[in-house]
Amino acid sequence: MASDQATLSRPVSTIDPFSHAFLHDPYPHHEAMREAGPVVWLEQYGIWAMARHQEVRDSLTDWQTFCSSAGVGLSDFRKEPPWRPPSIILEADPPLHTRTRAVLTRILSPAAINVLRTTFEREAELLVARLVEQREFDGVADLAEAYPLKVFPDAVGISGDGRENLLPYGSMVFNSFGPRNDLFNQAMANAGPVREWIMSKCSRAALAPDGLGMLIFRAVDAGELAEDEAGMLVRSFLSAGIDTTVYGLGNALYCMARYPEQWTALRENPALIRGAFEEVLRFEAPVQTFFRTTTKAVDVGGVRLGEGEKVLLFLAAANRDPRRWDRPDTFDVRRRATGHMTFGTGIHGCVGQAVARLESEAIFAALAKRVVSFELTGEPRRRLNNTLRGFDTLPLPLVPA
Ligand code: OVM
């Protein structure tokens, strides 16, 4: 029968996408999976994987077939209890998702976020001026972490004390999308106190009156959300809003140091800064993967997927698919990089992308005024994570303007 035939001919791979070797250098493995077929069976985990741009995009767009409510990590919420109450936006389907998403779409719209621009630019100028005086800095701790940890919690309206919990929490969240491996266990080592701190910051009483967090509670007053749902959406801000931009800014710095002629192009023409960040997101995606779960049997390129099966979507592999991109392995700030899958697409496409773009534009505009070049003297050290790709340390001596 046709379906047996398809099952028999499914491409199979022994790759472990959460092994250290894979996470250190995923790109050859991405290519192998793209070339294996439109969908590949990863036998170690008993899951499907998609690495081509077309199939990743189509799956993200078809939320009826590829749902999020069973979790967007390896764990199937229908079979094992989630490590925390599921996110009511990320790990939800319509109609719940539609209601929560509408609130955050409004609060995080480009026009609403533009109100933050003056503050974000001032903070970027202050930080970069300080780093340039130092002559040498760690691109991760001193910039990629320091900046989002200042401006984003300020914007949400979180008090200053205890912010050292935000990165450990992000590490828990993003490692938890993978298997319960060494990275997961390390991230969860101090889970209790970190979670308690996070949850204590999510209530109406804990939030500044003029921040993005309180805007969520205004939606309660308008009858759009329940009080506990508002707290859960503040938790989503604190889960999704820090590590993603930390890794993104770190990867951007790495690209500018690694490809100095591209940095020169930006300095000479700051109008390229906005597109350059999109190219960083395409080329070194801070968020590498997300899962979906099938709600029914479905055909993908002639291969039959069953119902209730996990599908690993390689956003970062789609971003370098030669079927979609010219010279996919070349970092080129002048290319049209929009259409990359790093923000996802469809109903779950990144709701905070205006914040991410604002942070990168503020930082790289400030750097472009003051830094002629970065020099990668030593090998940067990677920080491995089951979902995120980025660095632990980026020692960057810089040549001031
Ligand atoms: C959330 C959440 C957590 C991590 C990532 C994310 C990329 C959302 O808690 O809603 O979106």
Backbone angles phi, psi at 270, to 5 degrees: -60, -15
Strands 47-50 and 303-305: unpaired
pLDDT of residue 49: 98
Q: Nearest C-alpha to atom 5 of ligand 1 is from which residue? A: 240
Residue 86, pLDDT above cutoff 80: yes
Q: How confident is the model at residue 401 (pLDDT cuts 50, 70, 90)?
A: confident
Q: In whole angstroms, what separates CA 342 from the centre of its chain?
A: 7
Retrieve residue 49's tokens.
């994987």
Residue 114, pLDDT above cutoff 50: yes
Residue 324, pLDDT above cutoff 60: yes
Give the number of domains in the chain. 1
Mean pLDDT score, 379-399: 94
Mean pLDDT score, 232-261: 98
In this structure, how many other beta carbons lie within 10 angstroms of the beta carbon of residue 79? Answer: 9
Retrieve residue 67's tokens.
């749902």
Question: Is 233 a pocket residue for ligand 1 (Cβ < 6 Å)?
Answer: no
The radius of gyration of the chain's CA atoms, rounded to the nearest angstrom, is 21
In this structure, how many other beta carbons lie within 10 angstroms of the beta carbon of residue 3? Answer: 12
Mean pLDDT score, 285-308: 98
Mean pLDDT score, 342-361: 98
Q: How confident is the model at residue 234 (pLDDT cuts 50, 70, 90)?
A: very high
Ligand 1 center from residue 370 Cα (angstroms):
34
Atom of ligand 1 nearest to the CA of 344: 7
Question: Is 387 a pocket residue for ligand 1 (Cβ < 6 Å)?
Answer: no
| Cβ-Cβ contacts under 8 Å for 164 (sequence gap 6 or more) | none
Are the CB atoms for 344 and 60 separated by under 8 Å? yes
Ligand 1 center from residue 187 Cα (angstroms):
16
Are the CB atoms for 286 and 398 separated by under 8 Å? no
Q: For residue 253, what are the domain limits?
A: 2-400
pLDDT in tens, 10-21: 999 999 999 999
Q: Nearest C-alpha to atom 1 of ligand 1 is from which residue? A: 236
In this structure, how many other beta carbons lie within 10 angstroms of the beta carbon of residue 112? Answer: 15
Q: How confident is the model at residue 8 (pLDDT cuts 50, 70, 90)?
A: low
Residue 32, pLDDT above cutoff 60: yes
Ligand 1 center from residue 239 Cα (angstroms):
5
Residue 362, pLDDT above cutoff 70: yes
User: What's the whole-number average pLDDT of the chain?
Assistant: 96
Among 174, 236, 290, 386, residue to substitute to test ligand 1 (most atoms within 8 Å of Cβ): 236
pLDDT of residue 375: 85
Ligand 1 center from residue 65 Cα (angstroms):
21
Of the chain, the percentage scoring pLDDT greater than 70 comes to 98
| Cβ-Cβ contacts under 8 Å for 351 (sequence gap 6 or more) | 89, 101, 104, 105, 108
Ligand 1 center from residue 218 Cα (angstroms):
21
Are the CB atoms for 358 and 113 separated by under 8 Å? yes
pLDDT of residue 376: 83
Mean pLDDT score, 134-147: 95
Residue 142, pLDDT above cutoff 50: yes
Q: Nearest C-alpha to atom 9 of ligand 1 is from which residue? A: 236
What residue type is assigned to position 344 of the chain? G
Residue 41, pLDDT above cutoff 60: yes
pLDDT in tens, 200-229: 999 999 999 999 999 999 999 999 999 999
Nearest CA-CA partner of 307 in 318, 322, 296: 296
The residues facing 291 across adjacent strands are: 312
What residue type is assigned to position 298 of the chain? V
Count CA within 13 A, CB hemisphere, residue 111. 2
Q: For residues 292 and 290, what is the distance between their CA atoms, to the nearest angstrom? A: 7
Q: For residues 317 and 313, what is the distance between their CA atoms, to the nearest angstrom? A: 9
pLDDT of residue 2: 44
Are the CB atoms for 156 and 213 separated by under 8 Å? yes
Retrieve residue 334's tokens.
């002048």
Q: For residues 358 and 102, what is the distance between their CA atoms, to the nearest angstrom? A: 21
Strands (E), 167-217: none
In this structure, how many other beta carbons lie within 10 angstroms of the beta carbon of residue 254? Answer: 22
Residue 180, pLDDT above cutoff 60: yes
**Top-confidence residue, 2 or 264:** 264
Residue 91, pLDDT above cutoff 60: yes
C-alpha dihedral over 339, 62, 316, 104, to 10 degrees?
Answer: 70
In this structure, how many other beta carbons lie within 10 angstroms of the beta carbon of residue 71? Answer: 25
Burial of 348 (0-12, 13-18, 19+ CB in 10 A): buried
Ligand 1 center from residue 110 Cα (angstroms):
19
Mean pLDDT score, 58-68: 98
Ligand 1 center from residue 208 Cα (angstroms):
22
What CATH number should be reported for the domain holding residue 212? 1.10.630.10
Q: Is the pTM of this model over 0.85?
A: yes
pLDDT of residue 398: 84
Retrieve residue 75's tokens.
């764990």
Q: Nearest C-alpha to atom 11 of ligand 1 is from which residue? A: 240
Atom of ligand 1 nearest to the CA of 239: 3
Question: Is 367 a pocket residue for ligand 1 (Cβ < 6 Å)?
Answer: no
